[in-house]
Amino acid sequence: ASEGAYEHLKVTTPRPGVGLITFNRPKALNALFTPLFHELNAALRAFDSSPEIGAMVLTGSERAFAAGADIKEMKDKTFADAYGADFIEMWSDLMHIKKPVISAVNGYALGGGCELAMMADIMYCSVGATFGQPEIKLGVIPGAGGSQRLTRAIGKSKAMEMILTGNNLSGKEAGERGLVAKVFDSAQECVDGALDTAEKIASYSKIAVKAAKEVVNKSQDLGVREGIEFERRVFHGLFGSKDQKIGMTAFAEKKKPQWTHE
């Protein structure tokens, strides 16, 4: 993920262990189209496989995280085009990334933009953020997980209201309703806050971080009992890691742990 290698993204490593991916399609408010997704997936995978990187931040501009799927790109698609080529399927590559991803949302996060932000592990936004699923106004419905993730995040009644009316949710409301973990006063503070959190995560054992993300994500798919059993197995497994010995010994000896990520 070297800098300058992308047309629709800016990809940098602004902090130790942190990869920053910034959508850079300002003329279309970062509308999400296929070439951008090829680049996004490549950038995410490059950071995911880089031993230097421990966490990532995904952001857009102050005006728009992403104003949704590119309506002009998809307007002439037929059912056969959409179904036959699994339209939107490749948008979910983010879900297969093993390292934590934080979305820092400023400005518009509409339709696919909101859905992509919700695929991240942690969401931050600024007061100026606008979340929405306006697909109903275009004669369609959310297609990248919005109906499922938004409903789990803010509850059925509010999600149903948003998806059926196309009404937006402000950054402040997103914080109050628990869609995002934190709301910042400005776009810059939001990105900086996400980078701070990513840097902190990147300072821990990569083995433990990977396991932590995996078990929390399981809570979204499993019942509580199976989820707790899964957690216990993974917890037990970590006693086979070097970093468990390093972390606990360092505590007992009042030292700073030097992780081996093994």
Is 171 a residue that touches ligand CAA (CB under 6 A)? no
- Backbone phi and psi for residue 23, each to the nearest 5 degrees, phi listed first: -65, 135
Which residue, 140 or 211, has its beta carbon nearer to ligand CAA? Answer: 140
CA angle 131, 56, 205 (to 5 degrees): 130
Is 60 a residue that touches ligand CAA (CB under 6 A)? no
Say whether 69 is catalytic.
Answer: yes
Q: Which of 21, 69, 118, 120 binds ligand CAA (CB under 6 A)?
A: 69
Which range in 140-148, 177-185, 218-226, 247-255 contacts ligand CAA by CB under 6 A? 140-148
For the segment 71-90, give every residue that binds ligand CAA (CB under 6 A): 71-72, 88
Which range in 12-20, 48-56, 131-139, 209-217 contacts ligand CAA by CB under 6 A? 131-139
Closest CA to 142 of 155, 128, 129, 131: 131
DSSP character string of 15-46: ETTEEEEEE--GGGTT-B-HHHHHHHHHHHHH
Say whether 7 is catalytic.
Answer: no
b/e string for 59-85 if b means 16 or more Cβ within 10 A?
bbbeebbbbbbbeeebeeeeeeeeeee
CB-based contacts of 1: which residues, under 8 Å, 6+ apart? 11, 13, 19, 42, 43, 46, 47, 50
Is 134 a residue that touches ligand CAA (CB under 6 A)? yes
Q: Which of 9, 20, 31, 162 binds ligand CAA (CB under 6 A)?
A: 31
Which range in 8-16, 27-35, 93-101, 231-239 contacts ligand CAA by CB under 6 A? 27-35
Other CB atoms within 10 Å distance of the CB of residue 154: 20
Residues that bind ligand CAA (CB under 6 A): 28-29, 31, 67-72, 88, 108, 110-112, 115, 134-135, 138, 142-144, 146
Active site residues: 69, 112, 115, 135
